[in-house]
């Protein structure tokens, strides 16, 4: 399955993905998603499932069912938009609270024997070289932590430059 996480409006997503929305699972902000409260219940109380009862309480499981995760996010100071960042936080149950060394760094142990391809599209004006470096570093760490097969990051000024299919 392909998983698309985005912060676009309905009008914008129709520009990016005018047809074939049925080819992927789409996670978008409809205003009903609660913020991660950092309780780590998804690790200790209800392993693999977020204790917040909303439609995104099973993000870790959704990651485990995905071959490819595509993220479209407005550029926010070298990182994801608030909605996308929240979804990434809510997906922490994809990994375990224990640590292993990968590439000489400490990262979470995998909950699932699964590999993901991750593609990220940042959109917005005036992205500085320093902000790109921050985002590249963040996404490289995310890809290692999620045990991705590979990752790709793209920077565009307009959503019309995003090519998903």
Q: DSSP letter string over 28-87?
A: ---S-PPPP----HHHHTSTTS-SS-STTTTHHHHHHT-SEEEEEEE-BTTB--HHHHHH
Which token pair is 108? 């979470």
Q: Which of 76, 157, 87 is nearest to 124 (CA)?
A: 157
What does the pLDDT read at residue 127?
84
Q: Which of 165, 137, 162 is nearest to 73 (CA)?
A: 162
Cα–Cα distance for residue pair 95/112, rounded to 1 Å: 7
The CATH T-level fold of domain 2-30+38-161 is Rossmann fold (3.40.50)
**Confidence class for position 45, pLDDT limits 50, 70, 90:** very high
Cα–Cα distance for residue pair 43/22, rounded to 1 Å: 32
Please check whether residue 112 is in contact with residue 146, taking contact to mean a CB–CB distance below 8 angstroms.
Answer: no
Q: What is the mean pLDDT of residues 86-96?
A: 94
The structure tokens 């996670």 sit at: 27
Q: What is the mean pLDDT of residues 61-72?
A: 95
Cα–Cα distance for residue pair 128/16, rounded to 1 Å: 24
- Mean pLDDT of all residues in the chain? 91
Q: Which of 72, 89, 80 is nearest to 24 (CA)?
A: 72
Confidence check: pLDDT of 25 > 70: yes
Q: Provide the edge-to-edge strand list for the sheet that holds 25-27.
A: 25-27, 2-6, 68-74, 117-123, 150-156
């Amino acid at each position: 399955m392909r998983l698309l996480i985005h912060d676009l409006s309905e009008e914008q997503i129709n520009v990016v993905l005018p047809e074939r929305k049925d080819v992927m699972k789409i996670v978008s902000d409809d205003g009903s998603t609660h913020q991660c409260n950092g309780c780590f219940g998804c690790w200790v109380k209800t392993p693999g499932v977020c204790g917040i009862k909303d439609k995104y309480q099973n993000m870790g499981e959704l990651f485990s069912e995905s071959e490819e995760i595509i993220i479209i996010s407005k550029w926010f100071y070298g990182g994801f938009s608030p909605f996308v960042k929240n979804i990434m936080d809510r997906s922490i149950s994809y990994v375990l609270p224990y640590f292993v060394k990968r590439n000489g760094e400490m990262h979470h142990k995998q909950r699932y024997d699964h590999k993901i391809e991750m593609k990220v599209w940042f959109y917005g004006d005036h992205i500085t070289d320093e902000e790109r470096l921050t985002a590249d570093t963040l996404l490289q760490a995310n890809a290692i932590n999620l045990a991705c097969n590979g990752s790709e990051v793209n920077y565009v000024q307009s959503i019309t430059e995003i090519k998903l299919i």
